[in-house]
Amino acid sequence: MKKAIYGIVGFITLLILFASCGYNNMVKLDEQVQSQWAQVENVYQRRSDLIPNLVNTVKGVANFEQSTLTKVMEARAKATSIQVDPNKLSPENVKKFQGAQGELSQAIGRLMMITENYPNLKANENFLELQAQLEGTENRITVERQRFNEVTQQYNAKVRTFPNNLTAGMFGFEKKGYFQAEAGAEKAPKVDFGK
């Protein structure tokens, strides 16, 4: 009888220890990170969906440099081909995803800069609407990436602090990656209005 009581007390003690080591909270935080990752992918997908319409509008209105349009579509294809499993949001995987999306951002930026040379395009309602949608989507991307980094920071802090790190190690909770600032973002752009 005493052994059974000791066994029950020991079992209850183990449950309390695991609860105090934050397993359930780690699961909750992991779910938040995965949910926020889905939001990040959602806004990137929205941007990707706008690009073919933008390219077709540019092609239809202006005698445009084909190489620029090709680079945009190639960057889009590369960016959409890189998928990251929400259970494997390692720093390396997030960096790889961010790199491909960054290449697409640069290609879109070049496209938008070149369109400034085409007055017919700047007056086209469809182009202006797509441009506004793209700008809004870029803002959403920034917001969702920031939210992702916030929930990831909470998760990473939880799995790396003692005694949670012991529980995290036992159950495979690993540190997740963040979105980083783009290369060169630390330098302010040089503005020259001419003389």
- b (16+ CB within 10 A) / e for 110-145: ebeebbeebeebeebeebeebbebbeebeebbeebb
pLDDT at 193: 34
pLDDT digits (tens, 9 = 90+) for 61-100: 766 678 888 899 999 999 999 999 999 999 999 999 999 9
Rounded average pLDDT over 148-166: 94
pLDDT digits (tens, 9 = 90+) for 3-54: 888 788 777 776 666 556 688 899 999 999 999 999 999 999 999 999 999 9
pTM, rounded to two decimals: 0.80
The Cβ of residue 108 has, within 10 Å, a number of other Cβ atoms equal to: 21
pLDDT digits (tens, 9 = 90+) for 175-188: 999 998 876 544 44
- Whether the pLDDT of residue 141 is over 70: the answer is yes
pLDDT at 44: 96
Q: Which is higher by pLDDT, 12 or 165?
A: 165
